[in-house]
Amino acid sequence: EYIEQPCESFDDLAKLKREIPMKIAVDESIRKNLGSNLGSLKDVADVAIIKWAPSGGISTAHHIAETVGLPVVVSSALDSGIGISHSLALAASFKDLDYACGLGTISLLESDICTPPAVVSGGVMSVERREPDFALVEKYRAGADRVDWWKNRITEIVSGWEGFEK
């Protein structure tokens, strides 16, 4: 339905948009530019991919979607079933979604940490709060180096929210 984040810079996205007939979706351009004029994304893209956690939650994700002013796709960032349940809640909170959401990423993992896992069945996922299976949490617990990597990533994302009015 679209090409996702084919270029990093707004200038390259604008040039590509003029040169190809396919729709362009932006993902990282939103997260990395929260403190700038997101309304200008309409000039370089056709679809906004929103992820609930990097956006700062459901209400902030809606504010971002309104600011960007493009059709929205709700996607996950290789989340567990807990994250997927929040993404499903975000998707369900939009009145209209013109494109399929990208939430079937549990199939890319060895296992979910929720029982039952948050999987797609017949192209559909149920909107429900998921709880962790603590035996699976322990089995798939990240090592200290990966935990540090994620802490740094979260700090980087949160610092990107500065200057963005919620």
| Overall residue count recorded for the chain in this entry | 166
Hunting for tokens 């990097």 — which residue is that? 54
Say how far apart CA 75 and CA 101 lie, in whole Å: 6
Please state the rounded mean pLDDT for residues 18-43.
Answer: 86
How much of the chain exceeds pLDDT 70, in percent?
Answer: 96
Own/partner pairs for 100-103, CB < 8 Å, 24+ apart? 100/1, 100/73, 101/73, 101/74, 101/75, 102/49, 102/73, 102/74, 102/75, 102/76, 103/74, 103/75, 103/76
Q: Residue 166 above 60 pLDDT?
A: no
The reported pLDDT for the residue numbered 144 is 96
The whole-model pTM stands at 0.84
- Reply yes or no on whether the pLDDT at 49 is more than 90: yes
Report d(CA 98, CA 107) in Å as an integer.
Answer: 23
